[in-house]
Amino acid sequence: MTRLEELVRAADTVAILGHTNPDGDCVGSCLAAYNYIKEQDPGKNVTVYLEKAPQKLSYMKNFSAICHEAPEGLKADLCVCLDCSAKDMLKAFGPVLDGAVYSICLDHHVTNPGYAMENIIDAKASSACEVLYGQLDESKISRDVAECLYTGIITDSGVFKYDNTSPKTMEIAGRLMAKGIEFGRIIDEAFYRKSYLQTQILGRALLESVSFLDGKAAFSVVRKKDMEFYGVEKSDLDGIVEQLRLIDGVEVAVFLSESGPSEYKVSLRAKNYADVSRIAKYFGGGGHKKAAGCTMSGSVHDVINNLSEHIERQIREHEEKTVEERRQC
């Protein structure tokens, strides 16, 4: 029996939490844990507390059971935090963690400081779903649970193309496929399907993108007024930064989405050598080497100028290192 299973078995009430602006790995890991626990013990009092999740992920079992508000004064026996790199990323659900009798965090972010009472953090894992898989009895993983786990793995591995994809990741994905999941449909639903409005906002973001640092970086921004004009939500902006990263010659892509007056959610992606987690961490955020994010204040000009200094430093260091290596050869 794994440590997670031991803690769940000893608890009467279990609260499952994920980070703000939940993505496929966050929702997938939370629902995988929820479905697994309920399948093993239908009478167990288990609840997932998350902000509103992207509707495109609604194919996962019990998506509609997610609670978007936690009752005041909730005191769960066990709080399970998944895919959340820092306590403040729980936002409004932070009090659920504080009020729990015991807590455990399963995560894969290298920047996670280990804020729960017990922490299982594997920075080499592709996703929180990969970490969670290691805490489940493989023989008891149902098709529904496998679907959730597979969703998280493909989301955070970029459908197995990011550097965090390992032979272990592929092996786990294969075992999940053996559970009978419709893996092609899951990839389409979680990654590629877009509404007409999502396509419009993507087109505008790309049309208005700006290249800087001699074409080695690119950024775009979507303001609240743009979102209101197109009738889209934050989750509809998923994938824009990845499209910027694919621009020929771009090493670092930056996407800003306005979250408040002079406040922007910053998404960072790297292509080859840059470590955007270092940049995000400097500005109070976190993430992975090739994919990270943070929140910054000021004008768009201020934000890009501040980020540009750090991006340029990494590009320069890489170029100097390359020149030195060639010289030695």
Q: What is the pLDDT of residues 276-287, one digit of tens each?
A: 999 999 999 888
Into how many domains does the chain fold?
Answer: 2
Question: Which amino acid, residue 232?
Answer: V
Give all strands of the β-sheet with 13-17 in edge-to-edge order.
45-49, 13-17, 78-82, 102-107, 118-121
CATH label of the domain that carries residue 174: 3.90.1640.10
The model carries a pTM of: 0.85
When pLDDT is cut at 50, 70 and 90, the band that residue 163 belongs to is confident
Of 319, 315, 308, 314, which is closest to residue 254 (Cα–Cα)?
308
From 169, 192, 215, the end of a domain falls on 192
Q: What is the pLDDT of residues 248-262, one digit of tens each?
A: 999 999 999 999 999
Q: How far is CA 241 from CA 252, 269, 290, in A?
A: 10, 7, 12
Mean per-residue pLDDT, 110-129: 95
215 and 187 share a domain? no
Mean per-residue pLDDT, 130-139: 98
In what helix (H) or strand (E) does residue 257 lie, and over which residues does it extend?
strand 252-260
Residue 42, beta-bridge partner list: none
129 and 142 share a domain? yes
pLDDT at 111 over 90: no
Give all strands of the β-sheet with 252-260 in edge-to-edge order.
210-212, 217-222, 252-260, 263-270, 291-297, 286-287
Are 198 and 227 in contact, with CB atoms under 8 Å apart?
no
When pLDDT is cut at 50, 70 and 90, the band that residue 103 belongs to is very high
78 and 159 share a domain? yes
Length of the chain: 329
Lowest-confidence pick of 19-23, 150-154, 325-329 = 325-329
Q: What are phi and psi of 252, to 5 degrees?
A: -130, 130
61 and 173 share a domain? yes
Residue with tokens 């602006």: 21
**pLDDT for 123:** 93
Please, what is the average pLDDT of the chain? 95
When pLDDT is cut at 50, 70 and 90, the band that residue 192 belongs to is confident
185 and 135 share a domain? yes
Are 219 and 241 in contact, with CB atoms under 8 Å apart?
no
Range of the domain at 183: 3-192
Of 266, 270, 249, 247, which is closest to residue 258 (Cα–Cα)?
266
**pLDDT for 51:** 95
